[in-house]
Structure 1
């Protein structure tokens, strides 16, 4: 039988493992939503952490498939047919949990659940598709739970809300004609931002004596109904009607809803098994069109668009944790992410191995550190047709299996 001290010491490694193994394949997934701190057994706890991720996606066999000098950047076939697509990034987290009596726990937290940053640059054959794209989110959440005795354990009802901000930009080579005429660089830029609200609800059942917990949590969509910004074509004066101007634009999109099942249980003294299955509704993001808001006509498909064409994501993870002594514990996990790209884009399946440790010098302080290494599987990208519309016809490319690595550290203060 696992002791209560085992439950307090080792079960926290489930959170550590998830921080060490961020999702590398699913849509715009970064840190995702994580409320594991809500289950901390201390009356109060403060936690702060950061994960640093280094994906190494490299594109090859790049071919310019839209050589129009006005809208396709011109013929870029003489440029390099390889590119480093991805950029390193960090995932911060801050949370404060408080318990009220024997039944109510609440958590307020800051996280960055979604994001993306690709930066292949200007000097490659696909610059007409992408020079640099970055999307960031900031999430401010509040979640509470109410628990009561049921059978040998406790049933917990979970509910909460979160406010989410999004901002981003994309640059691409619209035309090479301004370079030839000496009137600009030919690069166009889209800037956007918006904010919205979401909510979560769930259930959990716990038997502390066995370090057993099962939780099921749903996170709602976040609607960005006023995703607005500008399209800057001052460096592309040759584009009819919009060239040489900064045009205000707007569109709409949704951050996906998700459903996650997490399981853990003591399997022997000082040993814990854990696992999770998560579905994320990335298929809500297909093509996000942006139309002018200043009275100018909107071309078919928008003045510009963010074409994603995602399918739903699935993440399955499992692992083992072990408490070595009163100060040290460790965990190992394996995670599979189903890629969300469907012939367009470079988000294929990934496999990730995570290793983590926790050091508890006193009963009030816990320091966690972890690492992960994974494989981004191979594939290709090119033109695809959805509902009679062709996307991805600017450039085609392929990619081999690539490596990804991550380092994570956090500190928790309990009182």
Structure 2
């Protein structure tokens, strides 16, 4: 079953790195803590969204306002003793890349751009108890920086904030039955507050929200694995509101999101295994910000893993049907949008 887990993990990467709730690009996962022995992995994914809308029943189109982006992650795990394991991961958990075409005039946000990026270094320890239960926890060190330009749509306004590093934590518990490849892991990730200053020196905070993640898997037949996750994020705590900006919040969320994923993996032979996964994030039904005009999604993904000795290479692709949204302020309608995410991962057991 371990050969299947690289396939599963890659599908998770191309899922959460696509179009998730809020500004999340990579949902937290504890899977690396359960790899055998000494282990390292590197993943890279690319997401190509198409997101456009209009006002006035289609009379004034926005043009495609979403840019393609890439995401990468690295992880290393080793056993410190029979009971204790250490894992270190580096990834880019949150981000945004917005560019309304200038040619979309007279659309109110024509020419508006926004870029937000993060980098996180996570250290986790897992302690395994004799009764198939393990507990884990660690520190999350995260940086955030951003750049926004609004020639119109509340502008002209521009703001650039340099990278700010801050700290959070993660805690969790897991139960395993190795004889049937059963594992259920529940983890909590704290919010992290980043403090910035606007152009006039006024302070403001940006919070990346607390979340709860339930990951599960179980063998259901010889060489066949059922797996999935439920991911809840408290987006109501997140807003970006520089005091000097006359239009109020640049980014503001009123509801939490819950994302569901379910899949089946299959080992075909000693060299090849594969998996299919479906995902669903319900629509909140409330107006969204003009810099993030999406509301829920439905997706399907495929991945395959090639194994040779202690090396595994996995490739995956996912199609995401993006939920329709109506934006606040200008009441624009965004419908019939989608994204394609693809990724590749290489892992080694030492």
Q: TM exceeds 0.5? A: yes
> Which residue of the partner structure matches residue 45 of structure 1?
39
Q: Deviations over 1:183-219 (max 9, x none)?
A: xxx8431112422101000001111111110000000
Q: How many aligned positions are there?
A: 343
Taking structure 1 as the reference length, what is the TM-score of the superposition? 0.78
Q: Deviations over 1:87-129 (max 9, x none)?
A: 1011100111111221111111110001111111333334458
- Asked if the contact 1:51/1:407 (under 8 Å) is kept, the reply is yes
User: Take 2:157 and 2:250, find their aligned partners in 1: how far apart are those partners?
Assistant: 14
Structure 1 residue 378: Cα displacement: 2.0
* CA–CA distance in structure 1, aligned partners of residues 170 and 325 of structure 2: 35
Rounded Cα–Cα distance in structure 1 between residues aligned with 2:219 and 2:247: 56
For each residue in 1:307-362, what CA deviation from the matched residue of structure 2 results, as whole angstroms up to 9, or x when unmatched? 32341010001010000001110000001123457213312110010101111011
Q: Counterpart in 2 of 1:182? A: none
- Measured at CA, do residues 219 and 113 of structure 1 come closer, stay the same or move farther in structure 2, by a change above 3 Å? same
Distance 1:278 1:112, change over 3 A: same
Q: Does the Cα contact within 8 Å between 2:294 and 2:324 map onto a contact in 1?
A: no
TM-score (norm 2): 0.91
Structure 1: distance between partners of 2:135 and 2:300: 32
What is the correspondence of 1:160-171 to structure 2 with a 5 Å cutoff? 160-171=138-149
Alpha-carbon distance in 1 for matches of 2:187, 2:223: 27
Tell me which residue corresponds to 2:304. Answer: 357
RMSD (Å) for aligned C-alpha atoms: 2.2
Q: Superposed, which structure 2 residues align to 1:12-411 within 5 Å?
A: 12-22=6-16, 23-41=18-36, 43-61=37-55, 81-124=61-104, 125-128=106-109, 131-150=112-131, 154-174=132-152, 187-193=156-162, 194-224=164-194, 226-230=195-199, 247-286=200-239, 288-291=240-243, 305-339=249-283, 342-345=286-289, 346-362=293-309, 364-382=310-328, 392=329, 395-411=330-346
Given that 2:6 and 2:314 are in contact with CA atoms closer than 8 Å, whether structure 1 keeps it comes out as no
Deviations 1:350-380 (A, max 9, x none): 0010101111011x10101100011012232
Mapped to 1, the partners of 2:333 and 2:34 lie a distance apart of 44
Shift of 1:130: 6.4
Q: C-alpha distance in 1, partners of 2:307/2:153? A: 58
User: Structure 1: any 5+ residue segments left out of the alignment?
Assistant: 1-6, 64-76, 177-185, 231-246, 292-297, 383-391
Unaligned runs of 5+ in 2: none
Residues 280 and 313 in structure 1, CA contact (< 8 A), matched pair in contact too: yes
Alignment check: 8 A CA contact 1:311 1:341 kept: no
